[in-house]
Amino acid sequence: MKRALGVVINFCLLLACNAAYAIDSYRYMHVSIETPWRIFLFLLIGILAPFVVLVWLYWRHAQRTKKGDHNNHV
């Protein structure tokens, strides 16, 4: 019974909705030709960051083995 009542209430709320409740996203955020480039550069940092960490770890391991500390292998 509670489930049926919930379905009826949700259906009535959907019928009460109108376009006045819609949010105009362009009013709050200015989208220009630079926006895709900014998003691309932001995501590029996230893609290249693991490679930078990989190079740093490789260099660090090479420095340790160069000093003669060969017991670091797990």
Q: Residues 35-67: pLDDT tens digits?
A: 889 999 999 999 999 999 999 999 999 888 877
Judge whether 72 and 63 are in contact, CB under 8 Å. no
Q: Rounded to an integer, what distance in angstroms lies between the CA atom of residue 43 and that of residue 50?
A: 12
Q: Is residue 46 part of a domain?
A: yes
Q: Is residue 29 part of a domain?
A: yes
In the predicted model, is pLDDT for residue 2 greater than 60?
yes
Q: Rounded to an integer, what distance in angstroms lies between the CA atom of residue 65 and that of residue 63?
A: 6
Q: Is residue 7 part of a domain?
A: yes
Q: Is residue 37 part of a domain?
A: yes
Per the structure, the complete domain to which residue 8 belongs is given by 2-66
Q: Is residue 22 part of a domain?
A: yes
User: Does the global pTM surpass 0.75?
Assistant: no
Judge whether 39 and 46 are in contact, CB under 8 Å. no
Q: Is residue 74 part of a domain?
A: no
Q: What is the pLDDT of residue 69?
A: 58
Number of domains in the chain: 1
Please indicate whether residue 51 or residue 19 has the higher confidence score (pLDDT).
51
* Helix extents (H) in 1-74: 2-16, 25-28, 34-66
The one-letter amino acid code at 59 reads W
